[in-house]
Chains A and B, each alone.
Chain A
């Protein structure tokens, strides 16, 4: 009886244990679920957690050149900046160049730039009126600026040696620049909040020991001690009296991403710790006494960019990077995101600094493409009080400035929808597998029927997705769109986005890639074959065909990218690489070196082209003006855009689509996603952005072409054209003048943009008309097989026949498998 009772009680015990275990298996999420009402307002599904608070941005335009955005320090009550003041010692010549006219004090010859420290009181409306608190003496440059919690200002003043002056020769200038850093004087200066100088400490001797000292960043702690970061010198330490006390010797061998003061008044530095297994970003205390890094705090968020570090609101440190603003706890070594820049319609990549005032977060935004500055006032509000639009997500690998801009523009103008960007690469915790992990994560999401609404195909395999039905067919949307039509696009644009008969992606921009050479070397006919290229190389055996030429480069990029389709038929799953043509390509590629020493000094490209030590220049055309600079490389020599060798007789120019977007077939917001695509494709390109590309719509392309041919002149206050010394009207160069290249041997080559001519624009049209898309079979795996087997031939392990045979076998298998 007693035994039976024991058995019975044990039975119930076991049953109870099973029940508890079963309950533990049910998913009990900790995610805070929003209310249905909240979610309806935000357009999110019921299961998605809605943040309790959100930040709403109000943008305040700042006057042009209000402050130098690279040198801003925010104190408790004011923002301080270094202001550059170009004096009136200039005139503008017929080329649009600034020319020093000379000054009364000819010995100074300082080009007239003067520096001052300015102050902008912080107000609840933004920044107050500018006040100059210190004007630096002539010859003084200010670099590096910081302010302590008492409002005292610290900066590094550099006194450059006398310049050679007007009429100096190039050699004299070269000699000056070589010794400039070694002959400059360096001072650490402290001012009180009203600009009264508290100390001026000379540390010239120490600074000159470092190679080209420049105060990139600096911070002051609560005791008035200063830490200055100079890339070559490292972190240099100064005591409360401005006296240099030493530097931190254990060099992290990485760029210091941020230097600032925490809530405890200590200085911290953020950098990637390459001594750790994961190369993670850490925040380290600056130990003045020990002259070393103090405790390192892990998992500090900064996406490999410049990080602002300032005292936290509730936690120890407030920091921002190009993605978000976060608060970091030193004790827990974890960060809490306060806001995403994108959610506030702020382009995080343009945020130079943030500060907190009157319970609001302010962000200084500088658009370095056009020089415009703004202040974003971010006010924390309860989400339920904010009217939110339906959100659509764009999935991409990296933060991309161009995409950010498009998304922000859409959010500002569209009343019904807003986009957020989801990046799959965790740039704060980069590792060797980060890239593949990111691709895998998004792929898994898409295959599971989830994933973002819009996919940026710049980094993902669109073809594989398309074949699996992951991408929506855009043809019906295009057919019923009132904004976009099939015939609006340039030729081949829609063809490039069509896979297996379905239009799966649309590109908003394209670029052209080709090769150029002197007419005297390559002839005047556009387009050539591989045999022609081989003849050219044999005719100039001691010259480089292209810069940084290697066997692999020649094989995969120069020859095969356009011509792979000549050797195979992907649709039929057949190929023929075991033939004389392909063997000729292998033998040709074998004429080139295996590796390139990128560090080896070499003359600048224009000089190599001039003496025929370089025969061809790889040419990338992102805009109409690029044609001009590419031709300029050849000096006065007539140029032929001969293109990549091909078997079709075309001009060998490659058409590359950029910014390709597709819609997730599983998305529940396809109409919203389509409206974003429409806005992106119909938007005019921001030509101030480098590598913007050409628009894929005919109308926009023609508009850009017409605009590029316009000539603008500098006007005075009465609207009259300004004249140069010769009485000619001065052309306004809205491209920023030009650029200068400085070679390894100190030689220079510079170019100033001129108004674009009709011939240059026509040449772009010609290249576009004859351009081709890269081979349809262009596939990373395929190239891997070709280069792997070709390596065997290149290093003498097998003959060209053997290599071709093995390539044929393996690629045949590959094509049959994927037929």
Chain B
């Protein structure tokens, strides 16, 4: 029946006289008037975006290319060279990259595991969910206080490890400090990522899972070949959010240790914050632009991976 209709349609179409359809001439005046009116409507938003995003960004680029904010002289990429060769900046880059490389994958994996566990029908499921979400509600200053007490030289953690016969560790003033901030980061952010994954898990089509089960796929195969595919966009989102959050760890470190922490905790934002305090806007701007370029590259790569990996399930 369908075939018949389609043939009929085709025949009808083929019988139609081939006449040229004349397009009306473009009215330039009307076109401009339309654009003007539209422009007026979007002007407030555009002005806002320009004022709060584009213009400041332009100012930062300008500052990064001159030697002084008072009497600016164009110096080209000298500021970039100076920042890129500064040992403190390089230390900050190394620490930030290391922290992100450890904390972000851990955050992603642990929150996914938590989401999958809480997806099962276990007792006290909603209480556990609340438990993992509650760190998000605690103010940062309070968290910092708790961490200071826990990881103080005479704090609870040292008391515990000394019970096992180990020597106390100066957590904040040694290379072990990265453990402190990774734990702090995970504790603060796992809940949020977990909720995102739980929502994503709930949105996986049940029939696909049933098909996999019927096809005798084991749980690992189901997870890696079916669930991961459907979770790919969420994984991308969680990774990006965790990456951004990993840069924000500066706030907690700053409250724990102020402007110049032990070198292993010295992050990019420390460098930029200190430069700001010293009115060195040139180094600050150059550093910020380099950092944002790196971020753009990383996020671009993530998007590419996601597109490749999750293509088939997104149609």
Contact = CB atoms under 8 A, between A and B. Distances in A.
The answer to whether A and B interact is yes
Interface of A: 11, 14-15, 18, 21-22, 443, 446-447, 449, 464-465, 467-470, 573, 665-666, 781, 784-785, 789, 792, 797-798, 802, 806, 809-810, 812-814, 816-819
Interface of B: 37, 40-41, 43-44, 67-71, 86-89, 91, 153-154, 170, 173, 258-263, 266, 271, 274-275, 278-281
Contacts of B91: 813, 816
A425 to B, nearest CB: 20
Contacts of A806: 170, 173, 262
Contacts of B67: 469
Contact of A813 (B40, B153, B170, B266): B266
B271 A817 contact: yes
A18 B44 contact: yes
Contacts of A781: 259-260
A469 B71 contact: yes
B70 A798 contact: no
Nearest to A15: B40
B40 A810 contact: no
A18 B40 CA distance: 8
A816 B70 contact: no
Contacts of A817: 86, 88-89, 260, 271, 274-275
B70 A470 contact: yes
A529 B104 CA distance: 53
A818 B278 contact: yes
A812 B262 CA distance: 10
B88 A813 contact: yes
A806 B87 CA distance: 18
Instruction: Please indicate which of the listed interface residues A14, A21, A792, A809 has the most CB atoms of chain B within 10 Å of its own CB.
Output: A809
B86 A447 contact: no
A784 B277 CA distance: 16
B35 to A, nearest CB: 15
Given A14-B41, A781-B259, A468 B279 contact: yes
Contacts of B262: 806, 809-810
B213 to A, nearest CB: 56
A18 B43 contact: yes
A818 B281 CA distance: 13
Nearest first, the 4 closest Cβ-Cβ pairs linking A and B are A817-B88, A469-B68, A816-B87, A816-B88
5 contacts: A18-B40, A18-B41, A18-B44, A470-B70, A802-B170
Given A813-B91, A814-B260, A464 B70 contact: no
Contacts of A818: 278
A817 B89 CA distance: 7
B69 A447 contact: yes
A812 B88 CA distance: 9
A806 to B, nearest CB: 5
B279 A665 contact: no
B70 A666 contact: yes
A9 to B, nearest CB: 15
Contacts, number: 81
Contact of B280 (A468, A785, A789, A792): A468
A802 B68 CA distance: 40
Given A18-B43, A792-B153, A447 B271 contact: no
A785 B170 contact: no
B263 A665 contact: no
Given A802-B170, A809-B262, A813-B263, 18 more contacts: A18-B40, A18-B44, A21-B44, A22-B43, A449-B70, A468-B68, A469-B68, A781-B259, A792-B173, A798-B153, A798-B170, A810-B261, A813-B260, A813-B266, A816-B86, A816-B87, A817-B86, A817-B260
Contacts of A447: 69-70, 279, 281
Contacts of B86: 816-817, 819
A22 B170 CA distance: 58
A447 B280 CA distance: 10
A469 B67 CA distance: 9
A660 B274 CA distance: 26
A785 B261 CA distance: 9
Contacts of B44: 18, 21
A810 B68 contact: no
Contacts of B280: 467-468
B201 to A, nearest CB: 44
Contacts of B170: 798, 802, 806
B118 to A, nearest CB: 41
A14 B37 CA distance: 11
Nearest to B274: A817
A446 B69 CA distance: 10
Instruction: Please indicate which of the listed interface residues B44, B70, B266 has the most CB atoms of chain A within 10 Å of its own CB.
Output: B70
B180 to A, nearest CB: 15
Nearest to B67: A469
A666 B69 CA distance: 11
Contacts of B173: 789, 792, 806
Contacts of B87: 573, 816, 819
Contacts of A819: 86-87
Contacts of A784: 258
Nearest to A782: B260
Nearest to B72: A469
A816 B258 CA distance: 17
Contacts of A22: 43
A415 to B, nearest CB: 31
B284 to A, nearest CB: 12
A155 B189 CA distance: 72
